[in-house]
Structure 1
Amino acid sequence: MSEQPEILCEIRGAAGVAVLNRPRALNALNLPMVREMAKALDAWENDPQVTRIVVISSSEKAFCAGGDIRWLHDRGKVGAHGDMLAFWGEEYVLNHRIATYPKPYLSLIDGIVMGGGVGLSIHGSHRIAGDRYLFAMPEVGIGFFPDVGATYALPRLPGAFGSYLAVTGERIGPADAQTVGLVTHGVASDRMAELADALTGRSAIDDILSGFTIQRGPGPLDTARPAIAEWFSADTLGEMMARLEAASAKGDAFAARTLQTIATKSPTSVAIAFEQMRRGAALDFTEAMRTEFRIVSRIAHGHDFYEGVRAVVVDKDQAPRWKPASLAELDPAAIEAYFAPLGADELILGA
């Protein structure tokens, strides 16, 4: 047991403060952390002293680098799929809770925010990025898919930018994130602790933030956004790849790099992610989360997730052997099956 709790939930002034406190694991999210956060949100919802929720990290490197995929991998390898689905189910219920929470929910994100960390922050009312902010939904690189509500959030970014992030798993910094709406405010890293303290007071949130907010201007991907919109707005995965290949053939270096990136990812995961983005734009949040639980329930019994985690986390040979090995070998019916209803096993969410 660690000396410190992995998440600290306490009332400070007017704020219910959750401190992600697993720094050695870059605050990788596990089931006890999910449960403690859910318990705190329940307690704070009807507490008149608490007028806002503030989520921060004890690590300078990460807000939260994702779920504890090594634990999930290990449970699945011994056939304990129920343990995996218990984690994902409760995590998705927490994501839904955050998205529907009746009080302002502020995440102070300074460092890596990926996977499960995105789920803890993106659905809240205020997403405040420090200078070290680094966002990615890199799941296609480990045979997984962008979950934790990405089915809802990413398709709603402008110019098919969410599809780009989902299918490639690429990382972006605070300027690009603010431009496309992944974050609502920018604050200098050296003022984040001061901001966290100020938010425990009873002044209006917008008044507090106005004294800290900075504008970062265009990000590195700003000039690529028209191309991203053209390529990733395709109606089918085949058409998207054709557009990228045509641009690459004409000498577009960004298109060529993007193709190279996609080629390293799980073909099944790429196809699932593309389909998520296509469907997600028309789903409400509840149905998006149910859709993700359908997908993860099948992935837990598949091949690529275990192979991806093996290659990246366990053996670290960075040489996953995907099945099937290429987009051309994918069976469309097999991808469709990931999205099929689960009947009695559907995820149960509140109103």
Structure 2
Amino acid sequence: MSEVEIRVEGACGRLTLNRPSALNSLTLMMVRELKAALRQWIEDPAVEFILLDGAGERGLCAGGDIRALYDAARSGRLEEAATFFREEYELNSLISSYPKPYIALMDGVVMGGGIGISAHGSLRVVTERSTLAMPETRIGFIPDVGGTFLLARAPDELGTYAALTASRLGPADALLLRLGDLFISSNEIPSMIAELALCRTALDAHELLLNKSAAPSPGSLEAERQWIRRCFSRQTIEEILNSLDEETSDIAQRAAAEIRKNSPTALKVTLRALRDARHKADLGYSLRQEYNLAMACLQNPDFLEGVRAALIDKDQQPRWSPDDPARVTGEQVEKFFQNHEFPPLNLGHTYSQRGVSGDNRRNLSRGNYG
């Protein structure tokens, strides 16, 4: 059985990740199947809109297959890893500019690469079961799949907070960070999917989703925005930690403790990438930069050590090198941002997400739900 179920139901192009035993984590073959289906449907007049979801009860997608990337890096098969990143990021770019409405059902766990195939869509649906995260700094890696682009644009330094702490976000916090657009109760999902198959146009789908949407329960971050903005607007990891240490709230102290668990090198590279992305207008810049950073991370000892501690030995005791942000020099960080000798990304043609003039394709733009 294919690891991606691809079919057309009415006017809806359905994509279901079908690797539930691995929480639908992405393989290179899955990435290729998703790209092929999406490209085919661009010119198919029968397909008005796309719906992405995941098989099983646990979530949409836990990210890329980190164990496969670990094995490739450990054995020196870097071109194999580069091929995965290159094709995954090209898929992220295709989704972000897709000319037909792309609805992502972000139910359950959505992390890393799962963010890349959902949060760049034109409409992102979360439920009370949604748990979103970009936890890469915990394994000596950086938020990729366009994560630096998305998190840099979150209000009040909330994206910087999420990236450096590797925090998990519930539905209200995901909406606050602009990683999702609508909240729909999980009880409504089966009927929503069935009714989407009966929609004749994307506008019908638009109306259906709006009618099923509701307000989520309050999240944890709305009340913390003031100190998060104050602390995470600092320019270095050391300054952020010093600022957090001066805060009296328990959640600020927990944030500092979580940051100190993560790879100091990955933290510094991530902060630099987030600040760079904030001043660039397009996703393509961030994806190209993340491609270089991802390949540099795979050649840095912290990645192998982070995956060992988290997924191989599972002792949760990584030995970072260096083990303190103050010992990570500017020169060491700068090396991550230098060009690396791997085939470049081919982001190809970008499509207007506003639809195609003169036909009946409708846009389910996140801007329509403000």
Q: Which residue number in structure 1 is paired with residue 55 of structure 2? A: 58
Q: Kindly state the Cα deviation for residue 68 of structure 1 after the two structures are TM-superposed.
A: 0.5
Q: Which of the residues 246, 270, 275 maps onto 2:267?
A: 270
Letter in 1 for 2:221: L
Q: Which residue number in structure 1 is paired with residue 225 of structure 2? A: 225
For 1:300 and 1:190, how far apart are their aligned partners in 2? Answer: 41
Q: Which residue number in structure 2 is paired with residue 330 of structure 1? A: 328
Q: Kindly state the Cα deviation for residue 348 of structure 1 after the two structures are TM-superposed.
A: 2.5
Unaligned runs of 5+ in 2: 350-370
Q: Which residue number in structure 2 is paired with residue 82 of structure 1? A: 79
Q: Which residue number in structure 2 is paired with residue 128 of structure 1? A: 125
For 1:342 and 1:80, how far apart are their aligned partners in 2? Answer: 15
Q: Which residue number in structure 2 is paired with residue 287 of structure 1? A: 285
SS at match of 1:214: coil
Q: Kindly state the Cα deviation for residue 244 of structure 1 after the two structures are TM-superposed.
A: 1.1
Residue 24 in 1 paired to residue 24 in 2? no
Q: Which residue number in structure 2 is paired with residue 312 of structure 1? A: 310
Counterpart contact for 2:236–2:268, Cα < 8 Å: no
1:280-303, CA deviations, whole angstroms, 9 ceiling, x for partnerless residues? 111221111000011012112111
1:259-288, CA deviations, whole angstroms, 9 ceiling, x for partnerless residues? 110111011111111111111111221111
SS at match of 1:92: helix
Letter in 1 for 2:69: L
Please show how residues 159-170 of structure 1 align to structure 2 within 5 Å: 159-170=156-167
TM-score by length of 2: 0.90
Q: Which of the residues 34, 45, 65 maps onto 1:48?
A: 45
Unaligned runs of 5+ in 1: none
Q: Kindly state the Cα deviation for residue 62 of structure 1 after the two structures are TM-superposed.
A: 1.1
For 1:287 and 1:37, how far apart are their aligned partners in 2? Answer: 22
Q: Kindly state the Cα deviation for residue 199 of structure 1 after the two structures are TM-superposed.
A: 2.0
Letter in 2 for 1:241: L
Q: Which residue number in structure 2 is paired with residue 67 of structure 1? A: 64
Aligned-residue identity in percent: 39
Indicate the larger mover: 338-347 or 274-283: 338-347
For 1:210 and 1:105, how far apart are their aligned partners in 2? Answer: 15
Cα RMSD over matched residues? Answer: 1.3
Counterpart contact for 2:238–2:326, Cα < 8 Å: no
Counterpart contact for 1:294–1:346, Cα < 8 Å: no
Q: Kindly state the Cα deviation for residue 46 of structure 1 after the two structures are TM-superposed.
A: 0.7
TM-score by length of 1: 0.95
Q: Which residue number in structure 1 is paired with residue 346 of structure 2? A: 348
Indicate the larger mover: 209-218 or 317-326: 209-218
Residue 299 in 1 paired to residue 278 in 2? no
